[in-house]
C-alpha cells in the first residue's frame, strides 16, 4: 500500500492567501490541509483561495475537511473559496450541496501573482 502525499504552498498578499495543493487529499493528508487553512485564519487572513488544479484525488475525508474549514472560516469572518477542483470532486460537491465553496478565479488573478488560468480537464465552476 502506497502512502498518499499532499504538498501545500501558501502565498500571502495583504489579508488574502492563495493555497495551492498538489497531490492527494485523503484520511492521511487531510490533517495537513486542515492545519494550513487553520493557520491562515489564525494569521488574520480574510480570504483564503485554494487552488485545486494539481489535486489528483480527494476522498470524503477531504470533503469533510473543506466543510469543517468552511465553518471555521465563516465563524472567524474569513472567506474560503475553492478553485479548479477535479471533475469528480466538483460533482460530489454538487451532489451534497457544497457548491457554495466553489468559485472562479477572476478575482484571484487580479490579487495574486501566482494564480494560473484554468487548465484543461478541470472543472471551472
pLDDT given for residue 125 in this prediction = 36
Q: Which is it for strands 16-25 and 6-13: parallel, antiparallel or unpaired?
A: antiparallel
Reported pTM: 0.80
pLDDT given for residue 72 in this prediction = 96
Strand partners, 82: 50, 102
Q: Is 92 exposed, middle or buried (0-12, 13-18, 19+ CB in 10 A)?
A: middle
Per the structure block, which three cell numbers stand in for 12?
Answer: 500571502
Condensed to tens digits (0 to 9), the pLDDT of residues 71-102 reads 999 999 999 999 999 888 888 899 999 888 88
Strand partners, 7: 22
3-state secondary structure 54-77: EEEEECHHHHHHHHHHHHHHHHCC
Task: Set out the domains of the chain in order of their start, with CATH numbers.
Answer: 6-110 (3.30.750.24)
CA distance 37 to 43: 10
Amino acid at each position: 500500500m502506497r502512502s498518499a502525499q499532499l504538498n501545500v504552498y501558501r502565498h500571502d498578499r495583504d489579508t488574502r492567501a492563495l493555497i495551492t495543493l498538489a497531490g492527494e487529499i485523503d484520511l492521511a493528508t487531510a490533517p495537513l490541509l486542515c492545519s494550513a487553512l487553520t493557520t491562515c485564519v489564525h494569521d488574520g487572513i480574510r480570504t483564503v483561495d485554494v487552488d485545486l488544479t494539481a489535486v489528483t484525488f480527494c476522498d470524503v475525508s477531504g470533503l469533510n475537511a473543506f466543510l469543517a474549514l468552511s465553518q471555521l472560516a465563516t465563524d472567524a469572518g474569513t472567506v474560503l473559496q475553492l478553485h479548479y477542483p477535479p471533475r469528480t470532486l466538483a460533482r460530489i460537491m454538487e451532489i451534497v450541496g457544497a457548491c457554495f465553496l466553489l468559485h472562479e478565479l477572476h478575482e484571484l488573478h487580479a490579487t495574486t501573482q501566482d494564480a494560473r488560468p484554468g487548465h484543461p480537464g478541470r472543472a471551472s465552476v
